[in-house]
Structure 1
Amino acid sequence: MHSPVSVVTIVKSRTEKLCRLIEQLESCNPLPDELVIVWMCSPSTLSLAKSEKFNIVHKFVANGALPIARARNRGLQEAKSNLLAYLNVDAIVDKNFIAKGLNAWCPGSVVFTKVTFVPESQWVLPHDTLCQIKSQELPDEDNNEIPSRQQEDDHGKFSDDSICSTVFFISKTDFKKTGGFDEGYDGFGLNDEDFFTNCRSLGFSLNQIELQTFAPERPNYRCPINHLLDFVRNAERYHAKWGVNPCINVLNAYAEAGYINEDFETAGIHVLQLPKREKTSSENEVSSQEHDTALIKQSA
């Protein structure tokens, strides 16, 4: 049985995860009405993938590459159903997530699931197995699970809003009201926070359902030093739009590390230094050779 839901995902190079996602959707009850895949780069061998259980619609870039926000907007805008379910391509979902999302959704709402990160070694396991593993683990203060939230307490909160987009339901009508994901954000960070802040500003309710979704662990997402400049630039855009700084936990981590000023909340964000890039093994080898050469010259 098919549901009146269009599932949308975007993909660049993680094609093995796309294959896993399609397999999961084929096991869902009910099935989606369609899967819309937006390719952020040139077509590959999977760009014409089909399913015997539902229609797969492929959207391609004409030239160049699609940024994340533009790719999401294209998929969500061009899906045919009024109820849209956006999924990250690497999400591991419950086979009943469509049914539960349908039951929980109402006009003027965004419905999302709990999300727990797991190591890549566990990501290959079935959803039911992951649930059993997590149920046997002792509670951990830093297990990356997104707890239930109160709307008034989570404005622009990085560790929550960036994860809401792993799996969320929204109507096409409501998505149009948001204007879509802001394509002015460039590079890493804060596009999700901006989108869900926009949803709240429009009076939409954000409702978490009691359903577990798993995703691969994201190294350094609490302090993404390799994306410092992108994050700071996007934080400035967010502040200009909403009048508050986003993701205070991340900005505080940057300040404590000395990358930005500690008084950023009152004086604005200023980059004080850039993180040192770790050398690759080949670069370390070259440095070692240069050091040895210098020692030979000195001894001579």
Structure 2
Amino acid sequence: MLSVLTIVRNREAHLAQLVEGLRRSARKADELVVVDMSDTPIGAPAAGFPIRIERLETDGLPLAAARNRAAAMACGDQLLFLDVDCIAMRECLGRLSETLDRHDALLCADVRYLGPDDGRGSWEESALLAAGAAHPVRCFPVTGVREEPQAGLFWSLAFAIRRARFEALGGFDEAFTGYGGEDTDFGYRARDMGLPLLFVGGAIACHQYHASHDPPIQHLDDIVANARRFHARWHDWPMRGWLDQFTEMGVVEWHEGAPVVRRQPTAAERTATLSTWPASPMRIKDPLAAT
């Protein structure tokens, strides 16, 4: 049984397109589990498969806790975590499910990044595939799988794992509060458990565009705190590209070899960091971009 899991905060239109992708999938989802952190509770979109929504009241973005909540609600022995911004292409679910049948591994889907006008309203898969930009660092095979030796390139946007393995790992570490670092920590722990990281060819999901900051200055406090937590465990700095950008901006300084928040960003700095399209390699989240 394949459970698709997503978490959402104020992106109901994106969720509708995620559901539409699942509705068109060759291999149907047995269920969709949604953890809703939105300011106003969302409604269940129409679909030809069960959708269960769990409300999580929060003022922030507790990614680790929300993903763990979704996994705890799921019934399937195969878990596919799909960010609410992602639209699974027709063969994505089938490729991931079949690969999990053959491999006890941590699987990443091939995410393509869409522009501001792509995937809005009605869409054709061929148009999304033509418009989507591949990640500049992560290399996927056309078919089959490629084992990725660098655990830090684990990608939480769209990944699959056997439920038993997720539970054995203890899920995402909820000590990582808010945004950043929890996915890289999960990848490192999976590596230490001996779980291969496989990039699955043909398992394509298209990431819907949304306004964002480069670097993600709105998550400054979370990123610095979670980077310090990650370093204490792994003796390595995740999200180093973002930390370096924060340092250049003067909002972060390094004290005794560790980053600390020097000040909060100004309104002008928040405006200046709003990203533009096409996406730059830094905006396309790469937690290892600077380790």
TM range (shorter): 0.7 to 0.9
CA distance in 1, matches of 2:160, 2:75: 14
Residue in structure 2 matched with residue 126 of structure 1 by the alignment: 124
Report 1:98-137 matches (<5 A): 98-105=93-100, 106-124=102-120, 125-134=123-132
- The question of 1:31 aligning with 2:28 is answered yes
Aligned residues with identical type, % of pairs: 27
Query: Does the CA-based 8 Å contact 1:93-1:127 persist in structure 2?
Result: no
CA distance in 1, matches of 2:245, 2:42: 42
CA distance in 2, matches of 1:8, 1:91: 12
Residue in structure 2 matched with residue 270 of structure 1 by the alignment: 260
Q: Judging changes above 3 Å, is the alpha-carbon distance between structure 1 residues 202 and 280 closer, same or farther for their aligned structure 2 residues?
A: closer
CA distance in 2, matches of 1:279, 1:83: 43
- The question of 1:201 aligning with 2:197 is answered no
Report 1:108-187 matches (<5 A): 108-124=104-120, 125-134=123-132, 144-148=135-139, 151-152=148-149, 154-156=150-152, 160-161=153-154, 164-187=155-178
5+ long unaligned stretches in structure 1: 138-142, 282-300
Structure 1 residue 16 displacement after superposition: 1.3
- Residue type of the partner of 1:224? P
Residue in structure 2 matched with residue 18 of structure 1 by the alignment: 15
Structure 1 residue 86 displacement after superposition: 0.9
CA distance in 1, matches of 2:63, 2:39: 15
CA distance in 2, matches of 1:36, 1:280: 33
Structure 1 residue 205 displacement after superposition: 0.8
Answer with 1 or 2: which has the greater Rg. Answer: 1
Q: Judging changes above 3 Å, is the alpha-carbon distance between structure 1 residues 195 and 221 closer, same or farther for their aligned structure 2 residues?
A: farther
Residue in structure 2 matched with residue 94 of structure 1 by the alignment: 89
CA distance in 2, matches of 1:279, 1:172: 42
Tell me which protein shows more strand as a share of its residues: 2
Query: Does the CA-based 8 Å contact 2:148-2:199 persist in structure 1?
Result: no
Q: Judging changes above 3 Å, is the alpha-carbon distance between structure 1 residues 133 and 64 closer, same or farther for their aligned structure 2 residues?
A: closer
CA distance in 2, matches of 1:280, 1:197: 32
Query: Does the CA-based 8 Å contact 1:11-1:39 persist in structure 2?
Result: yes
Query: Does the CA-based 8 Å contact 2:106-2:196 persist in structure 1?
Result: yes
Q: Judging changes above 3 Å, is the alpha-carbon distance between structure 1 residues 238 and 100 closer, same or farther for their aligned structure 2 residues?
A: same
Residue in structure 2 matched with residue 253 of structure 1 by the alignment: 245
Q: Judging changes above 3 Å, is the alpha-carbon distance between structure 1 residues 155 and 277 closer, same or farther for their aligned structure 2 residues?
A: farther
Query: Does the CA-based 8 Å contact 2:215-2:242 persist in structure 1?
Result: yes
Structure 1 residue 15 displacement after superposition: 1.1
Normalised by the length of structure 1, the TM-score is: 0.76
- Residue type of the partner of 2:2? V
Backbone CA RMSD of aligned residues? 2.8
1:180 partner SS:
coil
Structure 1 residue 167 displacement after superposition: 1.1
1:92 partner SS:
strand
Structure 1 residue 259 displacement after superposition: 3.3
Structure 1 residue 176 displacement after superposition: 0.3
Q: Judging changes above 3 Å, is the alpha-carbon distance between structure 1 residues 145 and 121 closer, same or farther for their aligned structure 2 residues?
A: farther
CA distance in 1, matches of 2:62, 2:169: 19
- Residue type of the partner of 1:183? E
CA distance in 2, matches of 1:45, 1:216: 19
Query: Does the CA-based 8 Å contact 1:116-1:146 persist in structure 2?
Result: no
Q: Judging changes above 3 Å, is the alpha-carbon distance between structure 1 residues 81 and 239 closer, same or farther for their aligned structure 2 residues?
A: same
How many residues align structurally?
A: 260
- Residue type of the partner of 2:110? K
- Residue type of the partner of 1:58? I
Q: Judging changes above 3 Å, is the alpha-carbon distance between structure 1 residues 55 and 274 closer, same or farther for their aligned structure 2 residues?
A: closer
- The question of 1:68 aligning with 2:63 is answered yes
